[in-house]
Chains A and B, each alone.
Chain A
């Protein structure tokens, strides 16, 4: 008797018929929006992430980089090659390079034929014109050297000349414009010389005791990289420095990072809104299908058949909505990327299939979570309902609905954020907020009812409508409360996404004012200070202070070897592996904020004799302090040259690394570091018209390095404006999802309102009165939910700012005005317009006096 195929067919037919009903359309729109939002953002972040990983591989020189002070053995090479990795050798060292009588230290990079594993070298190869820059995927040939233009200038050589590297003579084959594997920062002050590994022996530079870094670079598919994890761990324990794109990815600018988080947040908000819409639409869907279910029961359908029928029907709905949503999402992410790739020098991998599956999964999860408990009601319907209409199965308990929906949404949060504790925190916070809102809503509705009672005195049309509307709303407390909460959550989600957007943009704009430095000058010698500043100040619009730089390595934390003391995840931190730029300053550096402790007293200006073992006060950047696991009162010891100096942390500073100013992890008070060799750094902003000054600077101070960050600055500016557009694009999406909730909710209460207006009309109410009563009811609903939404949004926004986006929370007064009034207006107008059809019906029809209601 039961036929599987029959049910499938029936469910499909049912869906087709159902698409005529507004609740099913609302369900469809809500699910499609949820999928569109999550796939759009998922596709986008996935592609961006893979592109950034690829770029990271390029900056690192490979997917894996191994470094040690002696050559790597053949067995290790074989093991890596067997795993499917392509290898490249590289040797780094600093050596004197000479031509005739000119000597200059250069940073040597010795490469093999595999170089570069990723990307291309931008190099000027010929003599014919200075603009002939080639992009080549190889290094210099044996016998050749490619050098940085600055080295050419310092040694006064041109392409075709020869120069001396150790005992080898190499001919200059090219001028390096850009290396693909060139990390940011000022790690190397010496100009570059690149040569072939075959010439290395001839230089005679590799001797016992010489400071040479041997590097083994490996490239391969992610599976191959993952398969050598154990090996990498073993190497790391044996003292090999291991870098891995998966961990050592350069951090994005905080703007892009925040934008990524914002997008995830917006995606989740859209999913939540869609969930609320689904929950609202499902109630109406179930109410409407109780009759169908009862009839089918009557005609002999089993509970199992009913469950399968409706489950299948909704499955089709979810799948078709997913496909539409995924297509929208695919188009949307293409739009987002089009906005972003113009300035991100990324090779974009094609969209992966994972976000698509994730999107479909999201639709199903939202359906199960937000509609499931309500749908079970259909199964429990009694066949007897066909004879006795009042026999509706009890609606699912509100707590069950909220509970299951929260669980599912929490799981989605976890899935999307990958952070269990954050998800749990948000979930619990959300539930507590819901309980509070529930109680608040209950009290508010009670208040409205009492107020409505007092209004009874007035007999004008307006006050009568106000009284009736308020009473209608307040009397159906349970149903109204559901709507109130749904609207409050909707308004809150829309408001949060709007607020965060505004605050993000303000922060970004404040971050890079017009006179943000576009040049950095480094390696200014103490004797050159005055003259250099004079030239710069004549032409530049703004200049930061001159900061001294002393290079030193952290050798102890609280007297212990650093790697033993810092948290495990910080053991390979760059700040421990490299020398740090240390500075001193009497005052807090520009753009820095002391967040704990005290800045140096004026009297620390006295000479400090560090060798006495008395720690000197130091100030540390709070991010580094966190990574090192240190705070006020802890000590750090530094090796500077051959001396050792210990500092006690007396203040923590917060600073903005994207500020285009010289920034320092560690600041000493004056009179401590002066005795060590130091140079100065500054940054300034130069207008296009004043560029001539640069030539004068280079000619007068040839050893000073000038770094033009105009291009980077321009890219960051453009990034911000493009990210802004992306953020606005996504905001529009969330607002759309919000509207879908309104639609679904108003659809859900349709039948109830039909009945009420029918009754009012039977009792003699005119069109005008009914219209006003409904308007009042919707407006009150909008006002109250706007008020509750503002509260929820304020709390949630504060949490998101502090916990996730790293912004300072503030109270948004305007929102407290806009949400209630806007809510009253929006719901009043939309609800009133949507229920026009209801008012047009005759009482006979609206009360169901003519047969089928």
Chain B
């Protein structure tokens, strides 16, 4: 079962000594190095960092979209470096949701179809009902058949949020979810994201440069020069 309300001791996400290097011309560039992280079920974690700090790279590694150069990483208790690309994809199917900065809605699909997309990869015969239900929960019950271009930015991101939760995943990654929205709209989307997260008891990993947003997570980590450090409340307020 994807949903577990009971807090378990084993972390859902566990990284140790994680590093990522890229070749840039003749030099090797360390984007991340020696990074440790544990995320527990139903927890919400914010990863803060300035532009270019490697936030997106880290998110890609944690979600198994990319492979680390060094270190250990396990998701749902499975070691990611031990899996090939397909193995990692299968591990994600139905258990991981995503919210992206640029929404990543497919332009030729209606709102409902966009939401149904991740469901297509998991068994079940109530997909349509679930898709409608989730769109209603994000307040778009009347706009099921609208194409993304017929929706405002905030509405598009709400569709994306519904899509992230529709499979009832154990873990949701959010990458700068308000990056493309104005402050007011961004706040509404964030409220929604946290409400849903709380209701569903999902684990949330949020990457952002926005301290206000980070503050709403239970734990805040700061990514700087390729390393993670824990920020306490005061530092976030600052």
On A, residues with C-beta under 8 Å from B are 1, 3, 6, 9-10, 13, 17-18, 20-21, 288, 291-292, 295-305, 382-384, 386-389, 850-852
Contacts and interface: CB of A to CB of B under 8 A. Distances in A.
Nearest to B127: A6
Contacts, number: 104
Given A17-B109, A17-B113, A302-B90, A296 B60 contact: no
A295 B65 contact: no
B165 interface: no
Contact of B93 (A1, A18, A295, A387): A1
A527 B170 CA distance: 113
A852 B104 contact: yes
Contacts of A21: 108
A130 B85 CA distance: 90
Contacts of A850: 153
Contacts of B19: none
Contacts of A300: 89-96, 118, 121
* Residue of A304, A383, A851 most packed against chain B (CB within 10 A): A851
Interface residues of B, number: 41
Given A388-B56, A851-B180, A298 B65 contact: yes
Q: Top 7 nearest A-B pairs by Cβ distance? A: A300-B93, A299-B118, A300-B92, A302-B86, A383-B65, A384-B65, A10-B120
A645 B89 CA distance: 89
B134 interface: no
B29 interface: no
B85 to A, nearest CB: 7
* Residue of B64, B104, B167 most packed against chain A (CB within 10 A): B104
Interface in B106-128: 106-109, 113, 117-118, 120-123
Nearest to B59: A387
Contacts of A301: 89, 93, 121
Contact of B123 (A6, A298, A305): A6
Given A298-B92, A299-B167, A303-B85, 10 more contacts: A1-B90, A6-B120, A21-B108, A299-B117, A299-B121, A300-B90, A300-B121, A301-B89, A388-B56, A852-B156
Given A386-B98, A387-B60, A388-B56, A297 B89 contact: yes
A304 B156 contact: no
Contacts of B96: 299-300
Interface in B181-219: none
A488 to B, nearest CB: 32
Contact of A291 (B91, B106, B113): B106
A292 to B, nearest CB: 6
Contacts of A388: 56, 60
B96 to A, nearest CB: 7
Nearest to A303: B86
A386 B106 contact: no
B148 A851 contact: yes
B178 to A, nearest CB: 13
A387 B179 CA distance: 13
Contact of B92 (A3, A13, A299): A299
A298 B109 CA distance: 17
Contacts of B180: 851
B221 interface: no
Contact of A384 (B60, B102, B104, B123): B60
Contacts of B107: 852
Contacts of A852: 102-107, 148-149, 156
Given A17-B109, A295-B104, A387-B56, A382 B65 contact: yes
B206 to A, nearest CB: 14
B62 to A, nearest CB: 11
Contacts of A305: 121
A1 B121 CA distance: 7
A851 B103 contact: yes
Contacts of B93: 1, 299-301
